[in-house]
Copies of this chain bind each other. A is one copy, B any other.
Amino acid sequence: MPTIAQDLKALDALQAHLFAHRHATTSIMFAGETTDPAEAAGPRAEALATLEEEVHDLMCSGETGDLLARLGAEAAEGELNEVCAAQVRVLVREREERVCVPAATQADFARLCCEAQSVWTRAKRENDWASFSPYLDRMVATMREIAELRRPGQDAYDTLLDDFERGTSRAFYDAFFSQVKECVVPLVSAMREKGWQPSRACIEGAFDHDTQMALARDLLDIEGLRASALTLAETEHPFTDSVCSAHAYIATHVYENDVISNVYSMLHEGGHAMYEQNIDPTYDRTILNGGVSSGVHESQSRFFENYVGRSEAFAPVLLGALRRRFPGRFDGVSARELYLAVNRAEPGLVRTEADELTYPLHIIIRYEIEQMLFDGTATAQDVPALWNERYASYLGLEVPSDMLGCLQDVHWSCGDLGYFPTYALGGAYGAQLLDAMRADGVDFDGACESGDLAPIRTWLRERVWRHGRAIDPMPLIESACGAPFDASHYTRYLTEKFSGIYDL
């Protein structure tokens, strides 16, 4: 029987191996998304599969199981300090998620995802739902099987929702989304009746690539990211990743005919990266490093994209940044005009291009359809009709093709069913954090107006960022805000903001 000291040393060693593998896969995948040449895809996939197999073997070994069982018992008796106890808690969970699924089932699922992604890519291009449809059914069946293995007797979709955001379930999201619908649907109707839209003329035109990249760095700097701990590269679809507080990665995409697209990609990805850079550095190379959940991560990205970046208080700062990089181009533009232009809300077909107001409706549609697939009231072949009905009723739009409809998102082909709701939840977390911050005396508007966001960062670092994975999402939001999660902060924010802009 090893001593506690020996077990704690083994715990460190286990986490060192997990960190090394995370660094390896992050480096390989980031290069894959940004700079790798075409032929590199095959060997990259092989290397990633082998590295994943190594992590699986390490986590599922009897030795790791025994170690975590012994340390879990020590933790229960209060023999471990808080940090080690949190490490053991998170590792035990990660092991449980892997160990009860036979390696062959897991491998079949990985292969199915691989296949489904390439089928989806072609299906989207060729507007061919029928070819992807059987894969979605197989995906749902396999995910249901795995969920049942992991949490026998529990609703499979509940398990998936909880995977992506611990503490959530259908009951939780049903309540959340019904509150959101009650707020958003009438606002969208009122706005449509009004018939007026702010002009976007002031942000239209061509903007050179290299200058946009320079602007991108200016914006990351205004946000407060440490350039000394950031890799910035270019890709097709922007994303953020990280290996520890000393090294975050952002990949972005510049459109020369749309300067605003990259401005908000930067503020959004910068929010993700700021969270990662500001996790307690003593958590580096342990399982506690990293954002705690998709929902909390989205709350940070959307905080900087929308609550800061699309606020009227920040508009003069953004205008100043645009004027410095594009001299003369924004001379006749007022901060108010810019604010209105970047907040124009309009029902649209594509989720990733949606404004703050209509965005949650796109999520609700996906959430409703995913539930039907899992509870057996629909199969994949019903999806286009279900999709199109909902876009007509919630957004008043006719969907001209599945390419612009139920084939638009990659998520279902990757096995990410249950993921979409966290996008909307992140927005709602953000609104509650904003109210809590103000109630705590942070001069939010003053910080935005001055362009010095330090007071906002200080509050978020203390309440959210530094904790990494040590506190679960719901307790984290509750301790940060001094109250349990409450969506009314979000609905109030949307109501006030868009009533104001559209004079509803």
Chain B residues, CB < 8 A from A226 = 37, 39
With a CB–CB cut-off of 8 A, which chain B residues contact A108? Answer: none
Inter-chain contacts of A285 with B (CB < 8 A): 43, 46
Q: In the complex, which residue of chain B has the Cβ closest to the Cβ of A246?
A: B39
A35 at interface, CB cutoff 8 A: yes
Complex Cα gap A201–B90 (Å): 66
**A31 touches B (CB below 8 Å):** yes
The answer, yes or no, to whether A385 is at the interface (CB within 8 Å) is no
Q: Does A392 contact B (CB under 8 A)?
A: no
A321 within 8 A of B: no
CA distance A36 to B243 in the complex (A): 12
A476 to chain B, nearest CB (A): 24
User: Is A16's CB within 8 Å of the partner chain B?
Assistant: yes
Please, how many residues of chain A have a CB less than 8 angstroms from a CB on the other chain? 39
* Nearest-neighbor residue (CB-CB) of A30 within chain B: B31
In angstroms, Cα B27 to Cα A231, docked, is: 14
A198 to chain B, nearest CB (A): 39
User: Which residues between 366 and 407 of chain A lie within 8 Å of chain B, taking CB atoms?
Assistant: none
Q: Distance (Å) between the CB of A227 and the closest chain B CB? A: 7
* A47 located at the interface, meaning its Cβ lies under 8 Å from any Cβ of chain B in the complex: yes
Q: Mark A253-291, 1 if CB is under 8 A from B, else 0.
A: 000000000000000000000000000000011000000
**Cα separation A421 to B233 with both chains bound (whole Å):** 39
Name the one of B19, B43, B246 contacting A23, with C-beta atoms under 8 angstroms. Answer: B43
Distance from A44 Cβ to chain B, minimum over Cβ atoms (Å): 7
What is the minimal beta-carbon distance from A210 to any residue of chain B, in angstroms?
Answer: 9
Establish whether residues B284 and A43, one from each chain, have CB atoms under 8 Å apart when the complex forms. yes
**A333 contacts chain B at the CB level, 8 A cutoff:** no
Could you say which residues of chain B place their CB within 8 Å of the CB of A28? 23-24, 27
Contacts of A228 in B (CB 8 A): 37-39
What residue in chain B is nearest A22 (Cβ atoms)?
A: B47
Find out whether the CB atom of B35 lies under 8 angstroms from the CB atom of A47. no
- Separation of A38 and B227 alpha carbons in the complex (Å): 9
A51 within 8 A of B: yes
Contact between chains at B244 and A35 (CB < 8 Å): no
Q: Distance in Å from the Cβ of A58 to the closest Cβ of chain B?
A: 10
What's the least CB distance linking A101 to chain B, in Å? Answer: 21
Query: A400 → chain B, closest Cβ, in Å?
Result: 35
Question: Of B31, B36, B46, B227, which contacts A37 at CB under 8 A?
Answer: B227
When each residue 213-249 of chain A gets 1 if its CB lies under 8 Å from chain B and 0 otherwise, what string results? 0000000000000111111010000000001101100
A19 CB contact (under 8 Å) in B50, B244, B284: B50
Residue in chain B with minimal CB distance to A227: B37
B contact residues around A51 at 8 Å (CB): 20, 24
Contact yes or no, A39 B233, CB < 8 A: no
**Is B243 within 8 A of A43, CB to CB?**
yes
Give the residues in chain B near A27, CB-CB below 8 Å. 24, 27-28, 31
Decide if A54 is an interface residue (CB 8 Å cutoff): yes
Set of chain B residues within 8 Å of A20, measured between Cβ atoms:
46-48, 50-51, 54
A81 to chain B, nearest CB (A): 22
By the criterion CB–CB under 8 Å, are B35 and A247 in contact?
no
Chain B residues whose C-beta falls within 8 Å of the C-beta of A17 in the assembled complex: 50, 54
Residues in B with CB closer than 8 Å to A47 are 19-20, 23-24, 243
A16-B247 CB under 8 A given contacts A27-B27, A37-B231: no
What does the 1/0 interface line of A3-20 toward B look like (CB < 8 Å)?
Answer: 000000000000011011
- A43 and B233: CB pair below 8 A? no
Does A37 contact B233, Cβ atoms closer than 8 Å? Answer: no
Distance in angstroms from A234 CB to nearest chain B CB is 12
What would 10 A/B residue contacts be, using CB atoms closer than 8 Å? A19-B47, A20-B48, A23-B28, A23-B43, A24-B24, A24-B51, A27-B31, A42-B246, A43-B244, A47-B243
Apart from A24-B47, A24-B51, what 8 extra A-B contacts exist at CB < 8 Å?
A19-B43, A24-B27, A30-B31, A36-B247, A37-B228, A37-B229, A40-B247, A44-B247
**In the complex, the 8 A-B pairs of residues with the closest C-beta atoms, listed nearest first:** A24-B24, A20-B50, A23-B47, A39-B246, A40-B247, A39-B229, A27-B27, A20-B47
